Structure 1
Amino acid sequence: MESSPHVSIRKATPDDAKTLVDLIVELATYENLLDEAEPSVELLEEHLSAEALTGCEALLAETERDTAVGFALFFHNYSTFQTNAGLYVEDLFVRSTYRGEGIGLALFRRLAEIAEKRGCRRIDWAVLDWNTEAIEFYDELGAEPLDDWTTMRLDEEAIEEIATAGAAA
């Protein structure tokens, strides 16, 4: 467990699913995406288990004053160009009353330690264009924006449609 005078970072377990869901709802509210958020304690418990195929992992930031004040949820990705694994940070969130206290930095330090220990050559993530506070924080970390890439997504309905069309062929 990583510690500083006011924060500790630890790996989340399936038992932390309810706490993580509460933080995810706060994140969705902050990002004005609450209408899209449908986090499930049961699914997160399953996905955080060591046997899960999702490869989903999470870190919890905790203080002595409060229990959980932030989290990072991540998984491995793979670079074909580097033929090497990396980490993809799906979400990193610190409760608003704790921002500016080094908690986000502590979470990123732990992510970097994990990446280094596992031989990962990069850490990737996305940030909303309007979130200048986060962009400035990532700039200070030395992160570089990838302006030449567009994030693409297939939703559940499109996945089903494509899979069904493939099965019919």
Structure 2
Amino acid sequence: MSPSLSVRTATHADVEIVAKFVKNHSNPPNSLPLDAIAVGFKRNAFPDDGSRPIAGAALAEDANGSVIAVAVFTDWFSTWQGRPILSIQHLSTLPNESLKTVFKPMLKHLAGLAVERRATRLQWNTGPEDVELKDLSKEVGAHELPEWLDVVVSHPNLESLSRRNDGLPSRTELVIRPAEPRDELAEFENEPDQAKASHEDTELYHFPKVGAPVTETVIAERNGVEVGFAMWLFVYDPYTSSRSLYLEDLYITPQARKHRIGTQLLSHLASIAVNRDCLTYRWQVLDWNKGAIGFYEKMGGKVGSGKIMTRIEGDLLVELAAK
């Protein structure tokens, strides 16, 4: 790191600075009023109602203490790793500052935060226009996953999905209930050897003794038999300055497929998103899964943002944090 550059984690006092960077340096431009961005970031990064923070920011300062770059991040989660993910949602510099100057120091700081939080990886998105960011990402050893596409359902399609029940199993057949500690999701999918989540991680992130869980899960039962589940969490979206419901995992047992139980679970989570004041509901799909893509588009989802997920994980993440 340059001796004239320092990176620190944002505090309450930095809310307006973060909001100004998101407002003035987003691509595409952010149309929200500055006050709305500030209120949304403060509510999600420094909640005063006892809820779990889901957002944060890192600030790069020059030798004079002036902020020249901001990175806004949110917490995601990996089902099979059973650990959090730190996701960079916004990264920008002042117009006269070079991204190359701040990228590695900023990434080192965020990698340190990720390791402190026991996160399994650090990730961000790059678009076709982000040529410099792509090059810098390659320099630090990050790898791209272009096969994963974002799916986003926004209002008014979100409300429509929350009320969708045409042709679905009747309530006498299907019950959706909150997951309990006794529910073993890896066993549920018959893939216990692939799951790396320990019982301690499950208790810490799904069923904590104190505070709110990082993730929440519902189980679908048909005629008293468990036939599927959906796991989700709330993430922060700086573009809308609000939280979004992110579907991390959805599974239906093979024998229960083609009964539209997946649609019922998607609709159930959409209703949770609406009731908890989320402006968007999102998940990801592989680009080769044309059937699922068509299905999601029919229900009002916008598939593919043009962005490519880029990540650093494992030993490389730890090494970056320690440099």
TM over 0.5: yes
Say whether 1:21 aligns with 2:180: no
Matched, 1:151 2:151: no
**Compared with structure 1, are the counterparts of its residues 57 and 38 closer, same or farther at alpha carbon in structure 2 (3 Å cutoff)?**
same
1:62–1:69 contact (8 Å) kept in structure 2: yes
- Which residue pairs with 2:33 in the alignment? none
Q: Distance in 2 between matches of 1:137 and 1:100?
A: 13
Distance 1:61 1:126, change over 3 A: same
Task: Report the equivalent of 1:89.
Answer: 247
Q: Deviations over 1:38-64 (max 9, x none)?
A: 343442233211436761111111111
Question: Higher relative contact order by CA 8 Å / sep ≥ 6: 1 or 2?
Answer: 2
Q: Show the counterpart of 2:298.
A: 140
The structure with the greater share of residues assigned to strand is 2
Q: Whole-Å Cα distance in 2 between the matches of residues 161 and 145 of structure 1? A: 35
SS of 1:152 mapped into structure 2: strand
Query: Where in structure 2 are there 5+ consecutive unaligned residues?
Result: 1-169
TM-score (norm 1): 0.78
Go from structure 1 to structure 2 and tell me whether the alpha carbon gap of 1:5 and 1:134 turns closer, same or farther (over 3 Å shift): farther
1:31 maps to none
Q: CA deviation at 1:25?
A: 4.4
Aligned residue type for 1:22: E
Q: How does 1:1-169 map to 2 (within 5 A)?
A: 4-16=171-183, 18=184, 20-26=185-191, 37-50=195-208, 51=210, 55-64=214-223, 66=225, 68-165=226-323
The 1:152/1:39 distance shift into structure 2, 3 A limit, reads same
Distance in 2, matches of 1:99 and 1:133, equals 14
* Structure 1 outlier segments of 4+, above 6 Å: none
Number of residue equivalences: 153
Deviation per residue, 1:76-96 (Å, 9 max, x gap): 111111110011111111112
The structure that has the greater radius of gyration is: 2
CA contact (8 A) 1:46 1:52 kept: no
TM-score, normalisation: structure 2 = 0.43
CA–CA separation in structure 2 for the residues paired with 1:74 and 1:137? 20
Question: In structure 2, do the counterparts of structure 1 residues 78 and 123 end up closer, same or farther at CA, with 3 Å as the change threshold?
Answer: same
* SS state at 2:243 partner: strand
Counterpart of 2:303 in 1: which secondary structure? coil
Give yes or no for contact 1:11–1:60 (8 Å, CA) kept in 2: yes
